[in-house]
Amino acid sequence: MSIKMLEIGYPTPRFDALAKVTGEEKYAVDHTREDLLWAGTKRAGLAHGIIRGINMSEAWALPGVYAVLTRNDVAGTNRQGIVHKDQPVLAGRKVRHCGDPVALVLAEDRDTLKKALSLIEVDFEPLQGVFDPEEALKPEAPLVHETGNLLKKAVVRVGNAIDAFNECDIVVEDSFEVPGQEHAFIETENGLAWLEPDGGIVMIVSTQAPFRDRFEIAHALGLEVDAIRIIAPYLGGGFGGKDGATVQCLLALAALHAGGRPVKMCWEREESFIAGYKRHPVRMRYRLGSMRDGTLHALQCGLIYDTGAYAHLGVEVMALGMEHAGGPYRIPNTLIEGWCVYTNNPISGAMRGFGVCQVSFGIERMMDLLASKLGMSRLDIRLKNALRRGDRNCAGVTLVHSTGIVPCLETLGRHCLWTESGKWKAAAGPFKRRGVGIAAVSNAMGYGRGLPDSAIAQVELTREGKIRVYGGVADMGQGNASAFIQMAGEILRQDASRMEIVQPDTDLTHPSGSSSAGRTTYTYGNALIQACKELKEKLLHRAALVLMLDETHGLTLLPGTIRHLPSGRDVPLDLLGRTFPETDRIAVNQFVMPVAQDNIDAAREFKIGFPHVFFSYAAHLAYVEVDELTGKIDVKGYFAVTEGGRVINPTGFEQQVHGAVSQGLGYGLMEEVLLEQGRILNPNFTGYIIPTSLDVPEVTSICVETVESTGPFGMKGIGEVGTNAPLPAIAGAVEDAAGCRLRRSPLTAASVLRATGRGCGVDG
């Protein structure tokens, strides 16, 4: 009977899909323990103010309330943060955004918890708030932090852009603005924590960074790092919003004050909006110059990132944005300035497309503008300037690794969806205008310079003869756990039924960095491959021992066994598992992602996260229909061509592309965190809308395969790149359809009607 082995390049079902379709999978939010207490947070409700007092007496008096904690109950620094530790666990002196936590309640049940929170009154001395990053930069602006509102000003430059503009035949200018976006994972931020008899904390939490969480908690609460165990089950979505402590420090604090009882914290949807992290709103000013034949020559841009009340990964987001501000193009002279600014708005942090989503809108619209001024096709101008391996990018980094934007654009250009698009456009019905738009994008992979992008993989043969992978990186739905099983299965010649994976657990698996930056399959995958090769060698040698062979040649791993091909004798894996001690059945290996070697000035400004040297690429095409009467934009078709080195699992690759397109489409058409004086006006799924099954069209996905020789089986991460293209592609299509050039997202029906000045043909 033929067994279907795991093989690289094969469309492979997700290893964890069975548990998910039966409801057996336990996400963090599904975990519970006996004698539970529920913890919840009193949020400021005020964007900027000094705390004069907190009246908790009624809350304490409520039957079923176990404890009410404030800043005074926090030993340690009371500061959390991934890089900049500027965020309080519980606000002591002042609050800086409406979601700032002021008190923590522990109660017997959720209803009592809610009631208790409503009974807490905070006496504030309101301070004037600042809600616009450009206002925040003015000298008279209210200070969000004592250190000033400018978190970071940086410059990325190559050549001499100012002089180079004088050499250009044509210069175009424009400005753009994009709002905050919500991750909107369906499983909100949550966790469960308890104290062990030895005083250590165990926490099951929906997190992208279990190993780093320990450091954040320890630093914030004055604990020892190794007294904290974090278990990271599969997440019900993350997209960057669970990178960095969300519930972790509050939950650990609660566990310390729960009299030994386990504590659960789960942010309901509204709290997730108010307290959770957001994509940075950004304002962009662009100036792009080229020669008459379309060769790009100079780029200048000013980028203002509103990082909200706390830094989170604001500087790193801006750094990556600046690195990508010129798009996947060769521009010999660039001057890119960025300001990362504190305001009293909700906290901006990591989100899929991390700073790049925003600037991709800017540069791609500029390319369309340039194309129209030059009378060039939008595809040709992109092809003409598209980066090739060996070029220097807009940040000055030499692209020594795989660089596939040219084949992406060429593939798109040859496809009938592009070549026949004119026919489709001409067939628009009454009151409909049709257009197509394209976007070329890239997205860096990995952490960049300044910190090791490292993973440590452990793989083992169990006593029962199974292969167990000890995963170091969280799986938030991107399917990296499945990819690891596929890789291990490929090398060790097993089928899925003989594979096991342990999701990250700081007691059982090894530090491997966060699930972010498109890095996990690449970095952990590389470590895993080495570990598997080591284990394979070891197992073959042990099998030779069992079979009394004087060499391992002729021995091969097969599902469940090692076979000596010349004699046909088998050594079952479970025999090896029982014969050899555990320490002899394990292989551990580390991998660190290579970094850019170019000496870039700006790298000194950015301590971490800049620059990068691996990029994935994509070219997208959007088919759009605009309704003349309502301005409504419908995406009727979508085509994505993506380059990410070799493809490990075509199904997994497509899943990531589809999902990225869907989030990008939401970003482009309907998602906006609406703010008024720092307060979110739409903190729920009624007011903040994401695409439904009727909003995302059929998406055609083609992959262009190159080989990333440093990557596991030649792959690169593509989790983020697809998110960056839909907004500019749709904007380009709307301009093609209706002639209106929109500079703000989301691209709303109202903005289309306004821009086209359409009443209904008669006065309106």
List residues bridging with 319 in a β-sheet: none
Nearest approach, Cβ of 421 to other proteins (angstroms)? 20
Nearest approach, Cβ of 65 to other proteins (angstroms)? 18
| CA distance to 58, 192, 258, per residue, from 68 (Å) | 11, 18, 11
DSSP code of residue 396:
S
| Encoded amino acid at 472, one letter | G
When asked if residue 184 is in the footprint of other proteins (CB under 8 A), the reply is yes
Footprint of other proteins on 269-288 (CB under 8 A): 269-270
Q: Is 35 left (phi over 0), alpha (psi -120 to 50) or beta?
A: left
Query: Judged by CB under 8 A, which of 185, 277, 354, 522 binds other proteins?
Result: 185
* Pick 172 or 501: Cβ nearer other proteins: 501
When asked if residue 268 is in the footprint of other proteins (CB under 8 A), the reply is yes
Instruction: Give the interface segment with other proteins, choosing from 182-190, 274-282, 386-394, 462-470 (CB under 8 A).
Output: 182-190
> For residue 746, how many other CB atoms are within 10 A of its CB?
21
Instruction: Give the interface segment with other proteins, choosing from 224-232, 339-347, 413-421, 680-688 (CB under 8 A).
Output: 680-688
When asked if residue 753 is in the footprint of other proteins (CB under 8 A), the reply is yes
Count residues near other proteins (CB under 8 A): 88
Footprint of other proteins on 689-728 (CB under 8 A): 689-696, 698-699
When asked if residue 744 is in the footprint of other proteins (CB under 8 A), the reply is no
| CA distance to 247, 469, 732, per residue, from 589 (Å) | 32, 12, 47
Closest CA to 9 of 651, 481, 498, 720: 651
| CA distance to 87, 93, 104, per residue, from 125 (Å) | 20, 11, 21
Euclidean distance between CA atoms 676 and 489, whole angstroms = 53
| Encoded amino acid at 81, one letter | G
Pattern of binders to other proteins over 4-43, x per CB under 8 A? -------x-xx-xxxxxxxxxxxx-xx-x-----------
When asked if residue 760 is in the footprint of other proteins (CB under 8 A), the reply is yes
Nearest approach, Cβ of 42 to other proteins (angstroms)? 15
User: At 65, is the secondary structure helix, strand, or coil?
Assistant: strand
* Pick 307 or 482: Cβ nearer other proteins: 482
Instruction: Give the interface segment with other proteins, choosing from 219-227, 552-560, 572-580, 681-689 (CB under 8 A).
Output: 681-689
Instruction: Give the interface segment with other proteins, choosing from 128-136, 233-241, 319-327, 355-363 (CB under 8 A).
Output: 233-241
Pattern of binders to other proteins over 187-216, x per CB under 8 A? xx----------------------------
When asked if residue 237 is in the footprint of other proteins (CB under 8 A), the reply is yes
Footprint of other proteins on 603-642 (CB under 8 A): 628-632, 634
> What single string gives the DSSP state of each residue in 266-325?
E--HHHHHHHS-BPPPEEEEEEEEE-TTS-EEEEEEEEEEEEETS-TTHHHHHHHHHHHT
When asked if residue 431 is in the footprint of other proteins (CB under 8 A), the reply is yes
Footprint of other proteins on 313-372 (CB under 8 A): none
Euclidean distance between CA atoms 485 and 498, whole angstroms = 10
Hey, what are 337's tokens? 């300035």
Nearest approach, Cβ of 674 to other proteins (angstroms)? 6
> For residue 83, how many other CB atoms are within 10 A of its CB?
17
What length does the chain have? 764
Euclidean distance between CA atoms 440 and 363, whole angstroms = 10
For residue 148, how far is the Cα from the chain centroid?
28
When asked if residue 140 is in the footprint of other proteins (CB under 8 A), the reply is no
Query: Judged by CB under 8 A, which of 160, 579, 655, 756 binds other proteins?
Result: 655
Nearest approach, Cβ of 245 to other proteins (angstroms)? 21
* Pick 540 or 660: Cβ nearer other proteins: 660
When asked if residue 574 is in the footprint of other proteins (CB under 8 A), the reply is no
> For residue 93, how many other CB atoms are within 10 A of its CB?
8
